Structure 1
């Protein structure tokens, strides 16, 4: 039985795999993937998600645009969002959090950090 659904949004299949691997130890979680913000919005419009992990730098629609669109949609605005990005600068982190991201993880990712952020944002003890 699946209690929680997580959407991983990244244009790199390898990065999506790494994030999914870090999350597979969470109990009763289903993980879905999207290549970019546009594909993510399509999935979000038709399905329920409990958490979004998104990259910032992606073609078509970047992660910051995705965050702002999710936050401005009343049906989606409560979904926690964690940014995973190579952009480690303080300004990038502050901009993402100001747009409504709940957390910000800098690449290279550590599985334990991804796992901890997911547990916190999903409210899994």
Structure 2
């Protein structure tokens, strides 16, 4: 809730999904942000949140690819993730201090999906 409140979108309409799957983000997605620090800070906080919210991992990974030169479209997409978080406040993983730890690995490939470089992007997720 702190993320939503800090972004100033506490009164906004919640979103049912973290990212629109039909829209692919590109490097020049609108006007470059005059102060990219806010975007970078928000993405850093979202990356940390992915530890307990794996449902936003794909969206946060996509958004983190534009940290060097974020544009207005990237910030709009990041705010959509926040709107999704507002809707799903009770969701998330709980890690008990008393439970045995186990290793689980997930990997997926997004073959040549980057519209700018046509590179393959691999995702992996490790839980200890």
TM range (shorter): under 0.3
Greater RCO, CA 8 A, separation 6+: 2
Report which of the two structures shows the higher radius of gyration computed on alpha carbons: 2
Q: Which has the higher strand share?
A: 1
* TM-score of the two chains, using structure 2 as the length reference: 0.26
* TM-score of the two chains, using structure 1 as the length reference: 0.26
